[in-house]
């Protein structure tokens, strides 16, 4: 297929992947209203076009947590990324490093920390994401391994104390009756994926969990283990030992309310991710685009603000920066590209985002990232 826009990769992923994997990354919680609004609310934000400002010298670079970024973008932590391409986390990490942006490894990755971090260590450090889990031994083990591997930034996800109800997963075969049998059948009817990933990609062992358990952790083991380890009792106090242990920047992911953002500042976090988990947790909450301005008003300048959910192209990146984010995280967008064309797909996606940002910045009169502000938006259309 012809890839001319960053959004073209979704169709490529759908054609290549077994349905249970496509719908796992594509779907959301309940009726998926928040999933849809993440995209539509962001797309409805009107940029303010300005002309004749000599935009021949544009600078997309920025600095975050002492790291130089080629543009205000990082790859978000996405679980099971190694099921979307052969050793997918390694391919995505290499693509991000080659394009000068951070890659964040999920706790529930196929490739373990010790495989991914060395693949890019010569270019830039990797970020690591951790969930709130009952098994504090696993959390400490993961933190120790991430620190030993040279990971620079910890992204701590706090919006999964309980799993969201993802009905699409049961319909597609990721979960529900006869899930394993349905997955094998779907793999057999998608031979290119079955050969490249299913056979040679070793997607049936979730590396970080297996390293801790000392035994192979398959998909069905992961679902059971993760379900037994959600911790609804977690509070800010429970995060104090992590703040004390982790020597680098710590980012709290899953903030949607200004009061929670203020609490993150009081806690001593270095950053927050304004996020509704891509619409995969609580359906009916605000889209990130609608939640972000109030949070930025509350804590901008006191803490670094990142944002995800609904970002599909370079125009969306500019919109999120204008709404108050310092940097954005790409999740689904990069996984679609990875599933379609591996590392080359992710690199091309980031090139497309770069080009789309340059068009938007040129036509809004913003010569550098710091110049993208709410003045870049049409008033009354900023979320």
Catalytic sites, residue numbers:
277
Q: If you ran DSSP here, which 8-state letter would residue 125 be given?
A: P
* Helix H or strand E encompassing 169: helix 167-172
Cβ contact 378:49 at 8 Å: no
Q: Between β-strands 73-75 and 67-69, what pairing exists: parallel, antiparallel or unpaired?
A: unpaired
Which residue in this structure is represented by tokens 């790409």? Answer: 330
Which residue in this structure is represented by tokens 């680098």? Answer: 248
Cβ contact 377:62 at 8 Å: no
First to last CA, the chain: 34
- Which two three-digit tokens encode residue 293? 């301005």
Q: Which residues contact 244 (CB under 8 A, 6 or more apart)?
A: none
Rounded to an integer, what distance in angstroms lies between the CA atom of residue 278 and that of residue 255? 12
- Buried-state track 176-189, b at ≥16 Cβ within 10 A, e below 16: eeebeebbeebbee
Sign of CA dihedral 244, 249, 254, 260: positive
Looking at the chain, which runs of residues are DSSP E strands?
Answer: 62-64, 67-69, 73-75, 104-105, 127-131, 153-157, 250-255, 271-274, 304-307, 327-330
How big is the CA angle at 76 (ends 57 and 277), to the nearest 5 degrees? 120
Rounded (10°) angle between helices 258-267 and 288-299: 50
Of 69, 53, 91, 13, residue with least CA distance to 317: 69
What's the distance, CA 130 to chain centroid?
13
* Helix H or strand E encompassing 288: helix 288-299
CA distances from 208 to 51, 55, 125, 291, 373 (A): 51, 46, 18, 33, 40
């Amino acid at each position: 297929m012809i890839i001319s826009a960053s959004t073209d990769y979704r169709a490529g992923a759908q054609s290549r992947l077994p349905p249970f994997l496509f719908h796992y990354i594509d779907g959301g919680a309940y009726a998926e209203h928040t999933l849809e609004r993440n995209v539509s609310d962001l797309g409805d934000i009107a940029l303010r076009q300005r002309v004749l400002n000599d935009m021949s010298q544009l600078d997309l670079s920025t600095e975050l947590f002492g790291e130089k970024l080629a543009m205000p973008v990082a790859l978000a932590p996405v679980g099971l990324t190694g099921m979307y391409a052969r050793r997918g986390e390694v391919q995505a990490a290499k693509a991000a490093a080659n394009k000068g942006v951070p890659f964040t490894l999920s706790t529930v990755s196929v490739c373990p920390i010790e495989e991914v971090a060395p693949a890019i260590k010569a270019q830039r450090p990797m970020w690591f994401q951790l969930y709130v889990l009952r098994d504090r031994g696993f959390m400490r083990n993961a933190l120790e391994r991430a620190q030993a591997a040279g990971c620079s930034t910890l992204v701590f996800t706090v919006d999964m104390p309980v799993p969201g109800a993802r009905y699409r997963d049961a319909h597609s075969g990721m979960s529900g009756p006869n899930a394993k049998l349905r997955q094998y059948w779907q793999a057999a009817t998608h031979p290119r994926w079955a050969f490249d990933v299913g056979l040679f990609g070793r997607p049936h062992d979730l590396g970080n969990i297996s390293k801790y358990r000392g035994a192979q952790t398959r998909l069905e083991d992961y679902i059971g283990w993760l379900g037994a380890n959600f911790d609804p009792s977690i509070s800010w106090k429970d995060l104090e030992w992590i703040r004390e242990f982790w020597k680098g920047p710590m980012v709290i992911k899953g903030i949607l309310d200004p009061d929670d953002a203020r609490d993150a500042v009081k806690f001593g976090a270095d950053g927050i991710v304004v996020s509704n988990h891509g619409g995969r947790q609580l359906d009916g909450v605000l889209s990130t685009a609608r939640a972000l301005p109030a949070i930025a008003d509350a804590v901008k300048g006191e803490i670094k603000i990142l944002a995800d959910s609904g970002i599909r192209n370079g125009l969306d990146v500019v919109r999120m920066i204008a709404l108050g984010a310092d940097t954005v995280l790409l999740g689904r967008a990069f996984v679609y590209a990875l599933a379609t064309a591996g590392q080359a797909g992710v690199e091309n996606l980031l090139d497309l985002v770069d080009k789309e940002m340059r068009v938007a910045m040129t036509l809004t009169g913003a010569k550098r990232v710091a110049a993208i502000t709410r003045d870049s938006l049409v008033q009354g259309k900023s979320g």
